[in-house]
């Protein structure tokens, strides 16, 4: 019989900088769902990728003095590496700069054009560059972009438009279809948005060229959302190699963050309606992971780096935490304390202890061999009912994208099984030879309940499942399938168990918090920055005070030279710093300066400056600095270069 198919996607991420735990969240959720469906026997297609065009990326690359593709290639390598570390089981990774995507997007554009749904006009609007979105006056919040809160600018340009308004009624009907857009709150938000009236959508730009050319007008590039959204079908080969497309489309679920629900539930279906293609079955808009101070952002320097946490606690622990701690449809706040408490209570105490106690007792009471189970007793029926009843409920929760409740359902078995140990008191049974039969059954039941748990957690934490199988002596494939979670009694009497290392070591939370506080990538960089800001402020004020006198010999120790700034870029990890390549005669040195508040990299390039040449080299936020460019405080509080007429490489006397 042909397997049922299941197609799931994540958004394609902007490779503007390395991804943080917020991006990881959606991908981990998609991965768990893909693994869950595979476990249930589905033929799964799981797609992720990167969204590589647009003005913002072009600008970032320019600031870094590289071509867009050079910049993007580096970030995309990092994204793929991250997914490898996190063991994300995607089936395909699409990059929108790939030929396969470019040519297919152009074909889709032509399809919509030939249908009469694309026309040329001019657009004047309020544009948010970072979000690449035009907004109407009424959509702004306090005059700023409603998505990111940054200022918008007025823009007018000739552009191609997609007749979104034509599809308004059908979109409204679609949004009202039960199950199409979840959670409910997002659905109501979108319905209200559409009811206010849909404007046609600008789908081309002519003020920059980092994009897919409009096939009928090479002055224009296709504006990002038509380019980005179509990835979900171009990756399947639509329209020229339709085999996979025909197999997997329509998608069962597009997982997206809440701020891009609008594009996925309104614009994307309208484009598909225009192309006369089937619509995705479900859009799910998940919440955001926030920090106590608000949004996580690279520019604010307060991101949580998933790799730092994986290196410390393991990939299973991080995945479990993300999906268990937060309710998927809502925002949640990340703190290290919440993370550590969750790892200790659920993983080290509940699950880890259960497995280690059980294996130890089987070793102690049964010589390490899973015994017979023919002396039933009180509590058995309840344990069996809880253990075999969970799968159906887990499935129901997963169908609703309620990961947290699904995991809680599995932990109900963990807790029930721990309680079963306390109720049956094996250590007392062991004292009386007459109770050996009952003791054996208790041991068997414990091992069997753990087997069911180990299969249920497979989509979320497969290393832990396999470690449990190893310790319980269960060969993969024997009682490790989804259907095996409905039946109690599959583990074989006579199986040899073997104690292994603790699944999750207990963490000393106080000590660990102190360690995390001092580390980068754990959400507290901002505080560290604040401290350094204060240090800098202090330095600035004390610079007003007269300094202690020095002798000419002291002064002589300073080697001042002239240098020409050849290149300059922003420091990738610190907003205040610029990194310059300074030519001083025959040598070129890298010098980091804290002047980004006053100068852009473009301002710096070409200047001939005065440099303290014999300053001991230091690393500033990971970047080597070999010297110091001198600046003078101007009366208006700005900084001015200490300039010179001399050529570079001269000694200043
Ligand atoms: N490129 C577009 C998506 C195009 S899909 C056809 C985009 N990229 S993004 O990199 O800015 O965001 C990708 C996803 O990451 C979004 O769904 C967004 O919600 C999610 N997240 C970014 N930061 C997040 C958190 N802090 N928490 C949870 N998800 C967040 O938008």
The two three-digit tokens of residue 338, written as one number:
């919440």
pLDDT tens per residue across span 460-498: 999 999 999 999 999 999 999 999 999 999 999 999 999
pLDDT tens per residue across span 93-143: 999 999 999 999 999 999 999 999 999 998 888 888 777 677 878 889 899
pLDDT tens per residue across span 345-356: 999 999 999 999
What is the domain-level CATH number for residue 418?
1.10.730.10
- Among residues 463, 486, 509, the one where a domain terminates is 486
Report the pLDDT value the prediction gives residue 151, as an integer from 0 to 100: 92
Q: Looking at ligand 1, which residue's alpha carbon is closest to its atom 17?
A: 257
Q: Does residue 288 have its Cβ closer than 6 Å to ligand 1? A: yes
Q: What's the Rg (C-alpha) of the chain?
A: 30
What is the domain-level CATH number for residue 247?
3.40.50.620
Report the pLDDT value the prediction gives residue 555, as an integer from 0 to 100: 81
Q: Are residues 546 and 464 in the same domain?
A: no
Q: Using CA atoms, how far apart are residues 602 and 606, in angstroms rounded to an integer?
A: 9
Going from the C-alpha of 545 to that of each of 263, 389, 482, 548, 612, the distances in angstroms are 57, 75, 74, 10, 22
Residue 319 lies in a domain: no
Mutational test site, ligand 1, from 17, 26, 130, 297, max ligand atoms within 8 Å of CB? 26
pLDDT tens per residue across span 387-421: 999 999 999 999 999 999 999 999 999 999 999 99
Report the pLDDT value the prediction gives residue 70, as an integer from 0 to 100: 97
Q: Are residues 476 and 575 in the same domain?
A: no
Ligand 1 mean position, distance from CA 256 (Å) = 7
| Residues 6 or more apart whose Cβ sits within 8 Å of residue 383 | 416, 417, 420, 445, 449
Residue 389 lies in a domain: yes
Within 326-435, where are the H helices? Answer: 336-342, 353-366, 380-399, 403-424, 426-429
Q: Which domain holds residue 588?
A: 532-641
Q: Are residues 256 and 381 in the same domain?
A: no
- Res 176 pLDDT > 90: yes
- Among residues 486, 510, 544, the one where a domain terminates is 486
Q: Does residue 446 have its Cβ closer than 6 Å to ligand 1? A: no
Average pLDDT over residues 606-631: 87
At residue 534 the predicted structure's pLDDT band, cuts being 50, 70 and 90, is very low
Ligand 1 mean position, distance from CA 258 (Å) = 9
Going from the C-alpha of 475 to that of each of 136, 257, 449, the distances in angstroms are 61, 39, 16
The dihedral built from the CA positions of residue 170, 172, 175 and 178, taken in this order, carries a sign that is negative
At residue 147 the predicted structure's pLDDT band, cuts being 50, 70 and 90, is confident
Atom of ligand 1 nearest to the CA of 16: 10
Query: Given its phi and psi angles, is residue 73 left (phi above 0), alpha (psi -120 to 50 degrees) or beta?
Result: alpha
Atom of ligand 1 nearest to the CA of 290: 26
Residue 135 lies in a domain: yes
- Res 160 pLDDT > 80: yes
Report the pLDDT value the prediction gives residue 117, as an integer from 0 to 100: 98
Report the pLDDT value the prediction gives residue 650, as an integer from 0 to 100: 85
At residue 35 the predicted structure's pLDDT band, cuts being 50, 70 and 90, is very high
Q: Looking at ligand 1, which residue's alpha carbon is closest to its atom 15?
A: 23
Residue 406 lies in a domain: yes
Residue 427 lies in a domain: yes
Spell out the long-range contacts of 165-170 with Cβ–Cβ below 8 A and sequence spacing 24 or more: 165/197, 165/198, 165/199, 165/200, 166/117, 166/270, 167/198, 167/269, 167/270, 167/273, 167/274, 168/194, 168/197, 168/198, 170/270, 170/273
The two three-digit tokens of residue 646, written as one number:
């001399």
Q: Are residues 482 and 576 in the same domain?
A: no
Q: Does residue 229 have its Cβ closer than 6 Å to ligand 1? A: yes
Q: Looking at ligand 1, which residue's alpha carbon is closest to its atom 29?
A: 22
The two three-digit tokens of residue 583, written as one number:
């030519």
At residue 631 the predicted structure's pLDDT band, cuts being 50, 70 and 90, is confident
Q: Are residues 552 and 443 in the same domain?
A: no
Q: Are residues 266 and 344 in the same domain?
A: no
Q: Does residue 208 have its Cβ closer than 6 Å to ligand 1? A: no
Atom of ligand 1 nearest to the CA of 228: 6
The two three-digit tokens of residue 520, written as one number:
């980068």
Q: Are residues 349 and 429 in the same domain?
A: yes
Ligand 1 mean position, distance from CA 285 (Å) = 11
Ligand 1 mean position, distance from CA 108 (Å) = 24
The three-state secondary structure class of 354 is helix
CB of 201 closer than 8 Å to CB of 161: yes
Going from the C-alpha of 272 to that of each of 80, 192, 265, the distances in angstroms are 29, 22, 11
At residue 541 the predicted structure's pLDDT band, cuts being 50, 70 and 90, is very low
Indicate the angle between helix axes 306-313 and 21-39, nearest 10 degrees: 60
Q: Using CA atoms, how far apart are residues 35 and 44, in angstroms rounded to an integer?
A: 8
Q: Are residues 138 and 70 in the same domain?
A: yes
- Res 245 pLDDT > 50: yes
Provide the pairing of β-strand 43-50 with 5-13. Answer: parallel
At residue 511 the predicted structure's pLDDT band, cuts being 50, 70 and 90, is very high
- Res 454 pLDDT > 70: yes
CA 478 to chain CA centroid, Å, is 35
Most confidently modeled of 224-228, 296-300, 617-621?
Answer: 224-228
| Residues 6 or more apart whose Cβ sits within 8 Å of residue 433 | none
When the pLDDT of each residue in the chain is averaged and rounded to a whole number, the result is 91
Report the pLDDT value the prediction gives residue 550, as an integer from 0 to 100: 67
Domain count across the chain: 3
Q: Are residues 103 and 235 in the same domain?
A: yes
Q: Looking at ligand 1, which residue's alpha carbon is closest to its atom 23?
A: 22
Q: Are residues 451 and 564 in the same domain?
A: no
Q: Are residues 103 and 27 in the same domain?
A: yes
What is the domain-level CATH number for residue 592?
2.40.50.140
pTM: 0.79
Least confident segment among 145-159, 368-382, 543-557, 567-581: 543-557
Minimal CA–CA distance to 33: which of 48, 21, 14?
48
Mutational test site, ligand 1, from 10, 23, 186, max ligand atoms within 8 Å of CB? 23
Q: Are residues 99 and 218 in the same domain?
A: yes
- Res 443 pLDDT > 80: yes
Q: Using CA atoms, how far apart are residues 52 and 98, in angstroms rounded to an integer?
A: 10
Average pLDDT over residues 278-304: 87
More confident residue, 576 or 423: 423
Ligand 1 mean position, distance from CA 159 (Å) = 26
| Residues 6 or more apart whose Cβ sits within 8 Å of residue 353 | 418
At residue 146 the predicted structure's pLDDT band, cuts being 50, 70 and 90, is confident
Least confident segment among 132-136, 156-160, 311-315: 132-136
Q: Does residue 39 have its Cβ closer than 6 Å to ligand 1? A: no
Report the pLDDT value the prediction gives residue 636, as an integer from 0 to 100: 64
Report the pLDDT value the prediction gives residue 547, as an integer from 0 to 100: 54
Residues in the chain, overall count? 653
The two three-digit tokens of residue 446, written as one number:
């414990």
Report the pLDDT value the prediction gives residue 624, as an integer from 0 to 100: 85
At residue 542 the predicted structure's pLDDT band, cuts being 50, 70 and 90, is very low
| Residues 6 or more apart whose Cβ sits within 8 Å of residue 42 | 3, 4, 5, 6
Residue 397 lies in a domain: yes
Residue 311 lies in a domain: no
Average pLDDT over residues 2-8: 95
Minimal CA–CA distance to 450: which of 378, 380, 352, 363?
352
CA 503 to chain CA centroid, Å, is 25
CB of 222 closer than 8 Å to CB of 203: yes
Least confident segment among 22-31, 227-236, 426-435, 566-575: 566-575
Residue 116 lies in a domain: yes
Minimal CA–CA distance to 505: which of 356, 326, 334?
356
Q: Does residue 79 have its Cβ closer than 6 Å to ligand 1? A: no
Report the pLDDT value the prediction gives residue 180, as an integer from 0 to 100: 98
Minimal CA–CA distance to 191: which of 257, 266, 260?
266
Task: Give residue for tokens 């509940």.
Answer: 350
Ligand 1 mean position, distance from CA 132 (Å) = 13
Report the pLDDT value the prediction gives residue 301, as an integer from 0 to 100: 72
- Res 274 pLDDT > 90: yes
Least confident segment among 152-166, 476-490, 624-638: 624-638
């Amino acid at each position: 019989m042909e397997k049922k198919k299941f197609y799931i996607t994540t958004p394609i991420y902007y490779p503007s900088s390395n991804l943080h735990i917020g991006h990881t969240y959606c991908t981990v959720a998609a991965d768990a769902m893909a693994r869950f469906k595979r476990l249930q026997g589905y033929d799964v297609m799981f797609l992720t990728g990167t969204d590589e065009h647009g003005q913002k990326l072009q600008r970032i690359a320019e600031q870094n003095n590289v071509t867009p593709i050079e910049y993007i290639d580096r970030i995309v390598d990092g994204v793929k590496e991250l997914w490898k570390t996190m063991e994300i089981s995607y089936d395909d990774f699409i990059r929108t700069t790939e030929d396969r995507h470019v040519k297919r997007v152009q074909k889709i554009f032509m399809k919509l054009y030939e249908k009469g749904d694309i026309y040329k006009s001019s657009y004047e609007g309020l544009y948010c560059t970072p979000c690449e979105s035009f907004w109407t006056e009424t959509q702004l919040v306090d005059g700023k972009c409603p998505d990111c809160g940054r200022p918008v600018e007025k823009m007018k340009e000739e552009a191609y438009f997609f007749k979104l308004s034509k599809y308004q009624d059908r979109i409204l009907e679609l949004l009202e279809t039960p199950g199409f857009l979840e959670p409910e709150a997002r659905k109501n938000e979108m319905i209200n948005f559409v009811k206010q009236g849909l404007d046609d959508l600008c789908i081309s730009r002519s003020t920059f060229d980092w994009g897919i050319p409009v096939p009928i007008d090479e002055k224009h590039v296709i504006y990002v959302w038509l380019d980005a959204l179509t990835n979900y079908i171009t990756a399947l080969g639509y329209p020229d190699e339709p085999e996979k497309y025909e197999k997997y489309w329509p998608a069962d679920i597009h997982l997206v963050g809440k701020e891009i629900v609008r594009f996925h539930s309104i614009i994307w279906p309208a484009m598909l309606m225009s192309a006369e293609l089937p619509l995705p079955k479900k859009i799910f808009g998940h919440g955001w992971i926030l920090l106590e101070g608000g949004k996580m952002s690279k520019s604010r320097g307060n991101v949580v780096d998933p790799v730092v946490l994986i290196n410390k606690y393991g990939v299973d622990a991080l995945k479990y935490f993300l999906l268990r701690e937060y309710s998927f449809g809502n925002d949640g706040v990340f703190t290290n304390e919440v993370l550590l408490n969750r790892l200790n209570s659920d993983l080290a105490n509940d699950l880890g202890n259960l497995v280690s106690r059980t294996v130890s007792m089987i070793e102690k009471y049964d010589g390490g061999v899973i015994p017979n189970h023919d002396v039933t007793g009180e509590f058995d029926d309840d344990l069996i009912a809880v253990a075999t009843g969970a799968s159906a409920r887990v499935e129901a929760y997963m169908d609703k994208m309620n990961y947290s409740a699904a995991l809680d359902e599995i932990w109900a078995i963990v807790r029930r099984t721990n309680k079963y140990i306390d109720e049956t008191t094996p250590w007392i049974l062991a004292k009386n030879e007459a109770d050996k039969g009952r003791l054996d059954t208790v041991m068997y039941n414990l091992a069997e309940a753990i087997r069911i748990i180990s299969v249920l957690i497979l989509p979320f934490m497969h290393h832990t499942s396999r470690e449990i199988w190893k310790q319980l002596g269960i060969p993969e494939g024997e009682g490790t399938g989804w259907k095996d979670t409905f039946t109690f009694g599959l583990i074989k009497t006579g199986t040899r168990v073997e104690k292994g290392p603790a699944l999750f070591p207990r963490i000393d939370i106080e000590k660990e918090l102190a360690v995390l506080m001092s580390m980068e990538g754990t959400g507290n960089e901002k505080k560290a920055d604040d401290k350094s800001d204060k240090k800098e402020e202090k330095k600035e004020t004390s610079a007003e005070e007269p300094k202690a006198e020095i002798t000419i010999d002291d002064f002589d120790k300073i080697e001042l030279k002239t240098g020409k700034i050849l290149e300059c870029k922003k420091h990738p990890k610190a907003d205040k710093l610029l990194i310059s390549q300074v030519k001083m005669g025959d040598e070129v040195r890298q010098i980091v300066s804290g002047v980004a508040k006053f100068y852009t990299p473009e301002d710096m390039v070409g200047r001939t400056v005065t440099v303290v040449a014999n300053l001991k080299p230091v690393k500033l936020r990971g970047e080597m600095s070999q010297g110091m460019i001198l600046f003078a405080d101007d009366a208006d509080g700005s900084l001015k270069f200490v300039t010179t007429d001399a050529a570079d490489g001269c000694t200043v006397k």
